[in-house]
Amino acid sequence: MVSRPTGGVALGLLATLLLVAGCSPTRVVSTLSPTSHLEHAPAIAYGSHLRQQLDVYRPQEGATSAGAPVVVFFYGGSWQRGDRDKYAFVGSYLAELGVVAVVPDYRVYPEVRFPGFVEDGAAVLAWVERHIEAFGGDPDQVIVMGHSAGAHIAALLALDTRYLQAQGVTRAVPRGLIGLAGPYRFDIDSGRLAEIFAADDGTGDSQPMNFARADGPPALLLHGESDRVVSADNSRQLFERLCDAGGTAEVIVYPGVGHMRIAAALAPPLSFAGRSDEDVAEFIARVTGESTGPSAEDALTCGERLNGAANAAAGRPKASPAEPGAPVPTG
């Protein structure tokens, strides 16, 4: 992978000023993110619906060898809204790492309810399996990644095998899962979520927590301790479930970080906002075999979890179940 250049102070200051002025945060950082290092293939249809389109970002020809790792990124928006154009900064960030990035739109409520948006995610991976080699990507090295509601979609694709089986996906099965501020266990019994997830009907099929398994892909779960939209206990509890099932996972909870900042830090102009960019890059390198380095010092891994006393002595975050009444996910 190519190393990521640091964002300029002037760009960071400009981004901050635009955010204060009330501009769309994701569109601002996408506009300011560098593009000279990448090739962009926009508006590729993976289905017949207008929202079933995706963009591909890849390093410029010659910047990386053929068969590069692939990361499919699903944005958030409460399963009700979203626009892939606002997340060009994620494609830029991933292309800087030498990764072929796929950023799709997907159908949202009220046009579809669960599991329609997850089925669209599976259709994206089916498209990746058939076509990503033409863009220099390796369909056998696919990682799914998402923020907020997009992390929920990514987690179900990684853990509940039925979606990819229905699409006939055999190669583009996720080799890794990256969740940013994801809701993995939440109340769907009232309000708008009761409408969106009406098809769950008590089965628990909408909750990624229920599909933890030993043979699932390695997972990196990142969350901000100050997240008031999706409680960090979501990531802690999914981590617990994955470890209990015999899987491979790590969780990092950043002090003082909120719901949007954890994703904004991926943008070169806002890299000063946090270090989720560094942790994501290291995880991708480990999953794809380009690095054998250790996890971050403040990451809690399944192996370290077996020794709670050592974790406490090291000041690592304590994993605990999500409490009833946690904030309803809206991101």
List the domain boundaries for the chain: 9-303
Q: Is 276 a catalytic residue?
A: no
pLDDT in tens, the chain (331 residues): 544 444 444 444 444 444 444 455 555 555 555 566 799 999 999 999 999 999 999 998 765 667 999 999 999 999 999 999 999 999 999 999 999 999 999 999 999 999 999 999 999 999 999 999 999 999 999 999 999 999 999 999 999 999 999 999 999 999 999 999 999 999 999 899 999 999 998 889 999 999 999 999 999 999 999 999 999 999 999 999 999 999 999 999 999 999 999 999 998 767 666 799 999 999 999 999 988 888 999 999 999 876 653 444 444 554 443 443 344 555 6
**Token pair listed for 198:** 């009406």
Please tell us whether the domain made up of 9-303 is placed in CATH 1.10.3720.10. Answer: no
Closest CA to 209 of 240, 173, 166: 240
> Which pair of tokens denotes residue 168?
């006939």
Query: What pLDDT does residue 329 have?
Result: 58
From the list 78, 148, 206, 271, the catalytic residue is 148
Alpha-carbon distance 157 to 254, whole Å? 25
CA distance 131 to 120: 16
Q: How far apart are CA 296 and CA 17, in angstroms?
A: 32
